[in-house]
Amino acid sequence: MNSKKFTPELALELENLINNTIDKSFLPYVKGKSIRIGHVIVRETRVGFFLVFDTKENAEIAKMFCKTGAVALAKSIVSKQDNAEIKLIKTLDDIISKNFNDAIFYKHTINVTKDSIKKQVAQMRYSVARDATQHAKDKLDTFIYY
C-alpha cells in the first residue's frame, strides 16, 4: 500500500481541479451521424468524404478525405489556430488521399500481375505509399491529441 501524506498543497490542487470548469467547446461529441466540436460539425457524405461545416457562419469549410483530417481541421478552427496550421492540415489530408489511392492501385497490381518485375516494383511503391499515408495520419493525430 502506498502511503503518501495528504498535504494542504495537495488538497488545494485537488480543490482547484474539481472547481475549475472545463471549456466544453473543445470537447468533441457525437450527435446523430455527426461529430461536433464547438460550432463546427464533421459529417460523412454519401460518397465517403467528410464535410466540415461551420454553424456560426452557416457555411461549408472544407471537404476532407479522411475523418482524422476533418476532426483535426474542426479542432484547429474552434481553437482559432492560424491559417498556416489549417493549410498544413488540408495538405496532409491531400497527401493521405493521394497515397491511399496509390496504395489501392499498387495492391491490385500485386494481386493480378503475372510479371515478377512489375510485382516487385508494385510492392515497393505500395510500401512507400502505405508509409506516406501512415506518416501523414500520425502528423494529423498530433493536431487532435496534443
**Residue 25 banded pLDDT, cuts 50, 70, 90:** low
Residues 32-41: what's their mean pLDDT? 92
Query: What are the φ and ψ backbone dihedral angles of 42, each rounded to 5 degrees?
Result: -115, 125
Name the more confident of 92 and 14: 92
Q: What is the predicted pLDDT for the residue at 1?
A: 44
Query: What are the φ and ψ backbone dihedral angles of 20, each rounded to 5 degrees?
Result: -70, 135
126 Cβ neighbours under 8 A, 6+ residues apart: 103, 106, 107, 110
35 in Cβ contact with 42 (< 8 Å): yes
CA atoms within 13 A on the CB side of 58: 0
Q: What is the predicted pLDDT for the residue at 26?
A: 66
Q: How many residues would you count in the chain?
A: 146
* Chain segment 42-100, per-residue pLDDT in tens: 999 999 999 999 999 899 999 999 999 999 999 999 988 788 999 999 999 999 999 99
Residues 109-134: what's their mean pLDDT? 97
65 in Cβ contact with 97 (< 8 Å): yes
**Residue 31 banded pLDDT, cuts 50, 70, 90:** confident
Q: What is the predicted pLDDT for the residue at 71?
A: 95
> How far is Cα 113 from Cα 100, in angstroms, rounded to an integer?
20
Mean pLDDT for the chain?
89
**Residue 19 banded pLDDT, cuts 50, 70, 90:** confident
Q: ∠94-132-112 over CA atoms, to 5°?
A: 100
Q: Amino acid identity of 55? A: T
Task: Quote the percentage of the chain above a pLDDT of 90.
Answer: 68
Name the more confident of 139 and 16: 139
